[in-house]
Amino acid sequence: MAETLPTILLVDDEAHSLSAMRMALEDDFDILTASGAEEAAALMEEHFVQVIFCDQRMPGRSGVEFLCEVRDRWPDTVRIIITGYTETSDMIAAINDAGIYQFLTKPWHPDQLLMVAKNAADLFTLSREHDRMSLEMRYLSRSVESKIEAQRKVLREGLGFEKVLRAPNSPLNAVIEQARQFASFDVPVLISGEAGTGKSAIARAMHYSSLRSDKPYFELNCTSTDDDLLEIELFGAKRGALQGVQTNKVGLLQKADRGTLYVGAISDLSPRLQLALMRFATTGSFRPLGAHEAQRSDVRLITGSNVDLREAVTAGRFRADLYYAIGQITLGVPPLRERLGDLPLLAQSLLFDAASAHGKPVQGLSDDALEFLETYDWPGNLRELGNEMVRMLIFSQDPILGPELISRHILQASPNPDGPAPAVDAVLTGSGSLKDRVEHIEMRILRETLTRLKWNKSRAAAELGLSRVGLRAKIDRYGIAEPGRSARPVEED
């Protein structure tokens, strides 16, 4: 017998929005659609609906008003509102009143919509399972029920693996599946990967998917931090142990007792702190600065490293005993250049986060902009991408952000079907004839200038010190094509 798909009700007065949502979800769900609150209520009477996506602005009753009715009549149905950024601050109270699970801002990405829908369906199933188990275990220990409730709380707050954004076919999926398996085993985990690849997000998700999820979680980054400050932050200090420490300082190892501590950039620890951390990792005890007696703490250590710790051990820069104590389980996170299929989803999400934080509403990135972003190798990974989104947001004047806003060094990355293009420095110091290397750089400069000036050839020629005829000849020579040229006229002046 075929498995029954969860049923989702889509409510929007705009037919094209309903069609777009149906296309994104219909492979994984049974879809019902309604153009207003009254039609939606009638469908709820006739069908077993697990999840509702409802637009806020509709004729008659608003989305929140309708979902308040759904909360009262069908409380188990997971409710999601779709709204615009300009309404976010005003919506918070209304969303709380309606008991809404989550709100989506326009424009949403299909992968984002699908991820939210799957999480909502999982929440519905989990809620039903919780109700069933509560009846069966009525006379059992209340601690079991509290753990189930803690898991529901984590899912609602979105602190698990669903917060690690990725495309359905992302290379990161295999890493996440491994992390899910390791999460429930109470052993140390070492997460390796370049700076800015999202190691701390995976560590946080592992904690909130573990048996320690209802206990404290803390993070400590060791990058470029003073040794004495790191020691106090990690182990704590007794009053008077150092000048300026006038009270007892509780360290993270004590604060995270029975929980999880993520220590990032662990390779930056000094030999002295490596020894101290090794003693804790192997015995569970530590001594605060200035203390005479050791203390014990039950902490799960998850560590992150931007370098290969095996090589660091071989080179004598990292203690072998500490490496084997923290690296019982290892995970490798790929850099952004190896998961460029995730870039559209990541870039749009980071842009919307920046727009919300700075109060400047936008509708997203153009396809041309995304094409340029996908030709760059992103040595700074997610941090660099986030910085670029903030920069583009600041300079934007239109709701759709185009490629002319992208930083010049990214625009100069030439198209390469086999992956991101090499950096300019690599071209300058690489192999090949002088003529070929000069032409490669010239092509990049031409492409960047034309894009930044929105293909205004008169301005581009003037900036580059070329005639219009000379510019046209170079465009033809290098085969530089204007994105979407057939869809819009070329601006000449």
Asked if residue 422 is part of any domain, the answer here is yes
Same-domain check for residues 329 and 342: no
Burial class of 394 by CB neighbour count within 10 A (0 to 12, 13 to 18, 19+): exposed
Same-domain check for residues 385 and 288: no
Spatial CB neighbours of 293, under 8 Å, sequence gap ≥ 6? 287
Contact by Cβ (8 Å): 340, 374: yes
33: three-class secondary structure by DSSP: strand
Catalogue the long-range contacts made by 163-166 (C-beta closer than 8 Å, 24 or more residues apart).
163/201, 163/204, 163/205, 164/198, 164/201, 164/202, 164/205, 165/112, 165/342, 165/345, 165/346, 165/349, 166/339, 166/342, 166/345
Q: How far is CA 302 from CA 135, 207, 334, in A?
A: 37, 9, 18
- 30-34 and 7-11 strand pairing: parallel
Asked if residue 368 is part of any domain, the answer here is yes
Distance between CA atoms of residues 479 and 493, nearest Å: 22
CATH number, domain at 323? 3.40.50.300
253: three-class secondary structure by DSSP: helix
Contact by Cβ (8 Å): 48, 121: no
- Note the pLDDT tens digit of each residue in 291-342: 888 899 999 999 999 999 999 999 999 999 999 999 999 999 999 999 999 9
Same-domain check for residues 152 and 285: no
Contact by Cβ (8 Å): 123, 155: yes
Same-domain check for residues 149 and 231: no
DSSP 366-378: -HHHHHHHTTS--
Domain residue limits at 54: 7-156
What pairs with residue 249 in β-bridges? Answer: 237
Element (H, E) at 296: strand 295-296
The confidence score (pLDDT) of residue 156 equals 42
Contact by Cβ (8 Å): 278, 270: no
* Lookup: tokens for 180: 């899910």
Last residue of a domain, one of 310, 334, 358: 334
Contact by Cβ (8 Å): 285, 236: no
Count of structural domains within the chain: 3
Among residues 60, 62, 85, 63, which one has the least CA distance to residue 9? 63
Helical ranges in 15-141 per DSSP H: 15-25, 37-46, 63-73, 88-98, 110-136
What pairs with residue 11 in β-bridges? Answer: 34, 54
The confidence score (pLDDT) of residue 139 equals 53
pLDDT one digit per residue (tens) for the chain, 493 residues: 456 889 999 999 889 999 999 999 999 999 999 999 999 999 999 999 999 999 888 888 888 888 888 888 888 899 998 887 555 555 666 667 677 888 788 888 888 899 999 998 988 888 877 777 766 666 555 565 566 565 555 544 556 787 788 888 899 999 999 999 999 899 999 999 999 999 999 999 999 888 888 889 999 999 877 888 899 899 988 877 666 656 678 899 999 999 999 999 999 999 999 999 999 999 999 999 888 888 999 999 999 999 999 999 999 999 999 999 999 999 999 999 999 999 999 999 999 989 988 999 888 898 888 888 988 889 999 999 999 999 999 999 988 998 888 888 888 765 554 544 555 555 555 566 776 677 667 777 777 776 776 677 777 777 777 777 777 777 777 677 776 554 344 444 4
- Note the pLDDT tens digit of each residue in 408-435: 888 876 555 454 455 555 555 556 677 6
Q: What is the pTM of this model?
A: 0.60
The confidence score (pLDDT) of residue 225 equals 79
Element (H, E) at 345: helix 343-358
Contact by Cβ (8 Å): 173, 166: yes
Last residue of a domain, one of 125, 156, 187: 156
- Number of neighbouring beta carbons within 10 Å of residue 267: 20
CATH number, domain at 417? 1.10.8.60
Locate the DSSP E strands across 351-429: 364-365, 400-401
Same-domain check for residues 182 and 319: yes
The confidence score (pLDDT) of residue 188 equals 95
* Lookup: tokens for 417: 């079907």
Same-domain check for residues 350 and 410: yes
Same-domain check for residues 292 and 237: yes
